[in-house]
A and B are shown apart, each in its own frame.
Chain A
Amino acid sequence: MAITRDEVLHVARLARLELTDDEVERFTGQLSAILEAVAKVSELDLSDVEPTAHPLDLVNVWAEDEPRPSIPVEDALANAPDREAGFFKAPPA
């Protein structure tokens, strides 16, 4: 197996996905097959090759420190699943 059940549980945890047992089983098989296929990249000896940082050779793109209007608080909260006054509300951290 290119990836074990435990490793699947680990990455699911890292990604905050609560998988059912059925999902874990199914995904372990599928991810294994995919990983085996993508591991193909390691066939190449690329020790002298630079990784591609960006498709274009751009550097130093930034903006002046000039303010632009923020959005109204009602817009900020417009899609909030839960709120309290002007705050976003979430279960305790």
Chain B
Amino acid sequence: MIDTLRLTAEEAMGLIERGEASAAELHAAYLDAIRDRDGELHAYLRTVDEADGGGVPIAFKDVISSRGVETTAGSKVLQGYVPVFDSTVAARCREAGLPLIGKTNMDEFAMGSSTENSAYGPTRNPWDPERVPGGSSGGSAAAVAAGLAPWALGTDTGGSVKQPASLCGIVGLRPTYGTVSRYGIVAFASSLDQVGPMTKTVRDNALLYRIIAGRDPCDTTTVELPQPVELPEREDLKGIRVGVPKELNEAEGIEPGVKEAADRTIELCRELGAEVGETTLPRSVEYGLACYYLVAPAEASSNLSRYDGVRYGLRVEGESGVRSMYERTRDAGFGDEPKRRIMLGAYALSAGYYDAYYGQAQKVRTVIAQEHAAAFRSFDVLVSPTSPTVAFRLGEKAENPLAMYLSDVLTIPSNMAGLPGLSIPCGLSEDLPVGFQLIGPQFSENTLFHVGHALERAIGFDVVPGRLQ
């Protein structure tokens, strides 16, 4: 009997290598676990019966195209849509022999921080089913946390890998923009979207990142990694300079329990031999949210125009003429959050408003990049809590878009600069996981894995939710 609750991907690899379990057996074990536990959690939207591959099974957020498998992006507008091509990340996982377990739930079009915006119902946090798993990659986070997948892929635009990882007590990487292909990823915000590994351990995360990363000729915004991905071994932080940006660590809305856990972890960095110092990101945090909520919706408003009922997806007939069909299809197919963001984005790009809104936001982005670059002259990694809060209750923020947007206040600034960020669980507050965010310069994933692994070892956080043990 394979205990999927605790099994890491690296352990599963060992089982396969030693002939103690086959990929098919593992795959079947995960399907069993899903039958057992996912009725309550709803991490998955659909599963794949056949284990196609000899490696460690994996789950994909439903924004990732897999040939022949329905991909909805959490939306009704793509209900029944079956891609006729593989995304590059799916192709790379397939080449690595990783069988697909299934597609996980998400906020519609990756717009959200709680997975409550899914058109197919919310996902529940395995630590407390009355609470959200975070979003938009909530399904993938919950699946890994609840032992329904050894590892998973999510996507991160404003924090949608890091934040759910934080709320579910697992490890999530948002890679350097351009190191993982977006080809075949249902687009939300093109200059921000990145596919990220979601795993139980930092080493698992590095293993998965190594499989998916690297330049793709189908995506002209990708680059080769300057160095190969290293699996972290060291458990000390000697020689690492850790910066603590005061604006990130003292932002409004950070719960005391979260701050405490983060501060303890910063202290732990010192104990492990790191040089720790305070630094500042003067405007990045204050203006980051506003910047993001102009750039992302603007790009989204354009990316979502293709959902028009002509070539795929939902079609709702109009009165007469194609325009009426467009309007009815899109009104029926999109939930509230995509509609808000599409309209906001169209407004920010419209004649007369472009300079003040979108144009200005792209300049703020430059400022944010410059401030982070300045901080990185003195530090190797910047740290903060990943999310200002632990998992909040279902329904608590659903009616208040602005309150929901604040969930991303700590993950957004580095995202705007295209920088990588790793979230690791660092403790509990009110019996719920707290995530610790490590931000690095571009292409510093190896450093993030090193620091994350050393802290993970020292903290000894049990990634299996208490109530499931």
Q: Given that A18-B331, A23-B339, A50-B363 are known contacts, is A91 also in contact with B317, CB under 8 Å in the complex? A: yes
Q: How far is the CA of A42 from the CA of B85 in the complex (A)?
A: 43
Q: Does A14 contact B (CB under 8 A)?
A: yes
Q: How far is the CA of A90 from the CA of B318 in the complex (A)?
A: 11
Q: Is the CB of B325 within 8 A of A90?
A: yes
Q: Given that A31-B340, A34-B340 are known contacts, is A79 also in contact with B318, CB under 8 Å in the complex? A: no
Q: Name the B residues within 8 Å of A39 (CB-CB).
A: 290, 356-357
Q: Is the CB of A61 within 8 A of B220?
A: yes
Q: Name the B residues within 8 Å of A7 (CB-CB).
A: 347
Q: Is the CB of B340 within 8 A of A40?
A: no
Q: How far is the CA of A88 from the CA of B322 in the complex (A)?
A: 13
Q: Name the B residues within 8 Å of A38 (CB-CB).
A: 289-290, 293-294, 344, 348, 357, 361
Could you say which of B97-105, B306-314, B421-429 contacts chain A? B306-314
Q: Name the A residues within 8 Å of B311 (CB-CB).
A: 79-80, 88
Q: Given that A12-B343, A52-B362 are known contacts, is A34 also in contact with B293, CB under 8 Å in the complex? A: yes
Count of chain A residues with a beta carbon within 8 Å of a chain B beta carbon: 53
Q: Is the CB of B320 within 8 A of A91?
A: yes
B419 to chain A, nearest CB (A): 8
Q: Is the CB of B308 within 8 A of A16?
A: yes
Q: Is the CB of A54 within 8 A of B191?
A: yes
Chain B interface size band reads 35 or more
Q: Name the A residues within 8 Å of B350 (CB-CB).
A: 11, 14
Q: Does B455 contact A (CB under 8 A)?
A: no
Q: Is the CB of B191 within 8 A of A55?
A: yes
Q: Is the CB of A79 within 8 A of B312?
A: yes
Of B314, B317, B331, most A-chain CB atoms within 10 Å: B331
Q: Does A85 contact B (CB under 8 A)?
A: no
In the assembled complex, 22 residue pairs joining A and B whose CB atoms fall closer than 8 Å, in A order, are A15-B330, A17-B334, A17-B339, A18-B327, A20-B331, A23-B339, A27-B339, A31-B344, A37-B402, A38-B293, A40-B286, A40-B290, A46-B360, A55-B177, A56-B177, A56-B223, A58-B223, A63-B217, A82-B315, A88-B310, A92-B320, A93-B322
